Structure 1
Amino acid sequence: MRIRSPSLSELHAFATAARLGSFSQAADELHVTQGAISRAIARLEEHLALALFTREGRRSVLTATGQSYLDAIAPAIAAIEAATVALQTRRTERTLRLSVPPTLFSHWLIPRLPDFHAQHPDTTLSFAPYRRDDPLQAPEIDAWLRVGTREWPRHIQADYVVGRELVPICRPADLQGPHAIRTAQDLLARPLLFHTNYPDNWAAWFQGVGCAHPPLAPAADFELVALLVQAVIAGLGVAVVQHCLVEKDLAAGRIAIAVPQPVVIDRGYYLCQPAGRAASAALQDFRQWLLAQAHLGAG
C-alpha cells in the first residue's frame, strides 16, 4: 500500500510554525535552523499540492486550507507525543538504580541475576559505585545492599537478606588422614586466617559452638573474602566466613566446611532505602525477588 502521509518531521515543523506564527520561533523551539523549517514546510506544501501559509509582515499566517489541515492532524500529533512520553516514563519507572558491596555482588548476587531478568524482563538494573561511607540518602539511588545489624537509624528502612551465617572453611584434604579436622577444638591447632575488617569472626564462631579458647591471634589477615578463600586453598590455614559468600567455591569442591556447625551472628546484608520514600514498582519486584532468593538459599 502506498503511504500518502508526509513525514513526522514535516508535520512537527508545520504544526509548530502554525502555533507560533513564525518560522524562526518554530526553529528555536525545535532546535533546528530556520532554513530547516522552511524546507520542511515547502516539502509538505509540495506533497499536498496546497499552500498552507501566507506572509503578513513578519508573521506566517495559516491559509484556510492550512487551518483545516492543522485541525485534522493536531490530535494525531498530540496522541503520538503522549504515547511516546508515556512509554519513556514507564521505561524510566522500570529502571532500578542499586548500590551493592563488591563482595556480595560478585559472590552472591550476580549468579542469581539471570533469574531476576527472566522474571522481570522489562526492568533494567543499574548499579552505582559502592561507597563504604554512603549515608543512603542519594535521590538518584533507589536502594542499597549494606552490611549491618538489626539496629538501623530510624530514617532507614532495612530488610535482612543474607549473610548472618558463619562457617569455618578448610581444604578438602584437611578432612582426611590421621590429623583430619573433626571438631572445633581441632581448628585451634591450625593457623587461623582472619578477615581484616571483621577480626572478631573467629571468636564469635568459637563462642557460638561452645568451644573455649585462649586469646586468638591471626596467622595472617586478608581484607577480601576472595583472598581468604585463596589462602585456604593454598594451605595457609583455616578461615571463618559468611556461608553465602563461598557457595560457589563449596559447590566446586575447592574448599570444604571444616566443622558442620554454622553460627548465626547479628551482622548481615540488608536491603536499605530511606524510610518514607515510596518504593517504585520495580523496587517492590526486586525486593520480593531478593527475599525469595535468600529464602531459597537458606533452604
Structure 2
Amino acid sequence: MQSPLPSLRALQAFESFGRLGSVTAAARELGVTAGAISQQIKLLEAQLKMPLIMKDGRRASLAPGAHAYHELLTSGFDKLRQAQGLLTERMEDREVKISGLPTLLLKWLNPRLNRFGAPQGSVSFRLEATHVEPEPQFLNRMFRLTYGAASEAHPHRRALFHDVCFPVCSPDFLARHPEAARPECMGTLPWIDIDWGPAYASIPRLGDWLSAQGVPVPRDKPLSVHSLSSSALEAAAGGHGIALAQHSFVSVDLRLGRLVQLSSAVIPMPEPYHICWAPGLLENEVARAFLNWILSEARGD
C-alpha cells in the first residue's frame, strides 16, 4: 500500500529551503516566518521518518540522503510554476487570435473590429485567414470562424448568423447592361461563379438563384470561377459580370456603391456560420468579452 503524500505546505517549505539554502530565504519567498519553515520541515521529517536537514553550528543544509528527494520535488514544483505562469499569461493576454474562412474575416469581421471595446484597456487582433480547420487543442488559444458542419469538430460552437444570397454587379456593368436587373435576362449576360470545392457542393450558385425565380440557368460557361467569394466579388466590382453574393460579404461594398443589388429576392445558405472555441480560452477576460461582442454583432445583422 502506497504511503499518503505529505502536506503540500510542508513539501513547499522543504523545497524552498533546499533550493535557496537557508530558512530565512525560504521564509521570505513564501511570506511566512522562519519558525514556520522550520516547523513544516520537522513535520515532514516525522512523516518520512528520516532526517532532511543537518546543522553545522548555526548553518543548516540538506542531509546527504535528502538530495535525491529534494531534486525530484524541485522538478515537480518547477512544473507547477510553469503551469501557473501559462495560466497567468493566458488570463492576462490582451491579444485576440482568430482563425477564420478568408472572406468571412475580410468582408464580415474586419469592417466591424474597430467597434469592439475591450474591458480595461486596448486590445490587438491576430487574424489567420485559412480554409483549414485548426486542431481542437489550438482553440484554447484562438477562436475559429467557420461554416456549417465543419464547426462540429470543435469543442464549443455558437451559430453567428444564417446568410442569404442575391445577385450583384458593378454600377458600370448595370449601366452597360440595364437588362441585368431582370432575372429572365441575367442568364444571357457575363457571370462570375464561386466554387468552394467538393466539400461545399451545396453552396448556392447563380443558377440556383435563377431556378428559384423560375427562369433558365445561364447557358454559357462563367467568365471566371473563384474559390474565394471575396475574389469573385472583386471581379464583379471590376465590372466583369454578375455574381451571386452573400449578404454578410457584400454589405460594405453595397454601402460604398462599389456593387449594386440586382433583386430583392434572396435564397438562403444551407447552413449557418459559427464561432468555435475550447473551454480554456474563456479563462481570459478579453476573450470572454470578444465572444459576447461578436455574438451581439451577429444578432444585429
TM-score normalized by the length of structure 1: 0.60
Corresponding position: 1:232 with 2:233: no
CA displacement at 1:110 relative to structure 2? 1.9
CA displacement at 1:261 relative to structure 2? 1.6
Matches within 5 A, 1:83-162: 88=88, 91-92=91-92, 96-117=96-117, 121=121, 125-127=125-127, 130=130, 132-138=132-138, 140-149=140-149, 153=152, 156-162=155-161
After superposition, what is the alpha-carbon deviation per residue over 1:168-191, rounded to whole angstroms, capped at 9, x for unaligned? Answer: 111213444784322222211111
For the residues of structure 2 that align with 1:165 and 1:89, how far apart are their CA atoms? 40
For the residues of structure 2 that align with 1:111 and 1:125, how far apart are their CA atoms? 13
For the residues of structure 1 that align with 2:172 and 2:128, how far apart are their CA atoms? 40
More helix per residue: 2
After superposition, what is the alpha-carbon deviation per residue over 1:152-180, rounded to whole angstroms, capped at 9, x for unaligned? Answer: 53764332213621121112134447843
SS of alignment partner, residue 144 of structure 1 = strand
| Cα root mean square deviation, aligned | 4.2
Q: Which residue identity does 1:186 align to in structure 2? A: C
For the residues of structure 2 that align with 1:152 and 1:286, how far apart are their CA atoms? 19
For the residues of structure 1 that align with 2:19 and 2:232, how far apart are their CA atoms? 71
| Kept after mapping to 2: 8 A contact 1:18/1:60 | no
After superposition, what is the alpha-carbon deviation per residue over 1:83-109, rounded to whole angstroms, capped at 9, x for unaligned? Answer: xx8x95684376543322232212221
For the residues of structure 2 that align with 1:124 and 1:247, how far apart are their CA atoms? 25
CA displacement at 1:238 relative to structure 2? 0.7
For the residues of structure 1 that align with 2:187 and 2:194, how far apart are their CA atoms? 17
The residue that corresponds to 1:180 in the other structure is 179
For the residues of structure 2 that align with 1:235 and 1:95, how far apart are their CA atoms? 39
Corresponding position: 1:204 with 2:232: no
The residue that corresponds to 1:164 in the other structure is 163
The residue that corresponds to 1:223 in the other structure is 227
Q: Which residue identity does 2:136 align to in structure 1? A: L
For the residues of structure 2 that align with 1:272 and 1:195, how far apart are their CA atoms? 25
For the residues of structure 2 that align with 1:140 and 1:156, how far apart are their CA atoms? 10
Q: Which residue identity does 2:184 align to in structure 1? A: Q
Q: How many residues align?
A: 230
CA displacement at 1:192 relative to structure 2? 1.8
For the residues of structure 1 that align with 2:120 and 2:207, how far apart are their CA atoms? 42
Distance change in 2, residues 1:122/1:234 (3 Å): closer
Distance change in 2, residues 1:115/1:234 (3 Å): closer
CA displacement at 1:214 relative to structure 2? 6.1
Distance change in 2, residues 1:106/1:178 (3 Å): closer
Structure 2: where are the runs of 5+ without partners? 1-15, 30-55, 62-84, 198-202
For the residues of structure 2 that align with 1:187 and 1:177, how far apart are their CA atoms? 13
The residue that corresponds to 1:81 in the other structure is none
CA displacement at 1:144 relative to structure 2? 1.0
Q: Which residue identity does 1:188 align to in structure 2? A: G
CA displacement at 1:234 relative to structure 2? 2.9
For the residues of structure 2 that align with 1:174 and 1:119, how far apart are their CA atoms? 46
CA displacement at 1:242 relative to structure 2? 1.3
| Kept after mapping to 1: 8 A contact 2:99/2:127 | yes
Structure 1: where are the runs of 5+ without partners? 1-14, 30-55, 62-84
Matches within 5 A, 1:1-299: 20-21=21-22, 59=59, 88=88, 91-92=91-92, 96-117=96-117, 121=121, 125-127=125-127, 130=130, 132-138=132-138, 140-149=140-149, 153=152, 156-162=155-161, 164-176=163-175, 179-197=178-196, 200-213=204-217, 217-274=221-278, 279-280=282-283, 281-296=285-300, 298=301
Q: Which residue identity does 2:187 align to in structure 1? A: L
Distance change in 2, residues 1:287/1:166 (3 Å): same
For the residues of structure 2 that align with 1:164 and 1:266, how far apart are their CA atoms? 9
CA displacement at 1:129 relative to structure 2? 6.4
After superposition, what is the alpha-carbon deviation per residue over 1:38-90, rounded to whole angstroms, capped at 9, x for unaligned? Answer: xxxxxxxxxxxxxxxxxx689489xxxxxxxxxxxxxxxxxxxxxxx8x9568
CA displacement at 1:266 relative to structure 2? 1.5
For the residues of structure 2 that align with 1:251 and 1:211, how far apart are their CA atoms? 28
Question: Could you list the runs of 4 or more consecutive aligned residues of structure 1 that deviate by over 6 angstroms after TM superposition?
Answer: 15-18
CA displacement at 1:265 relative to structure 2? 1.6
The percentage of counterpart residues that share the same residue type is: 22
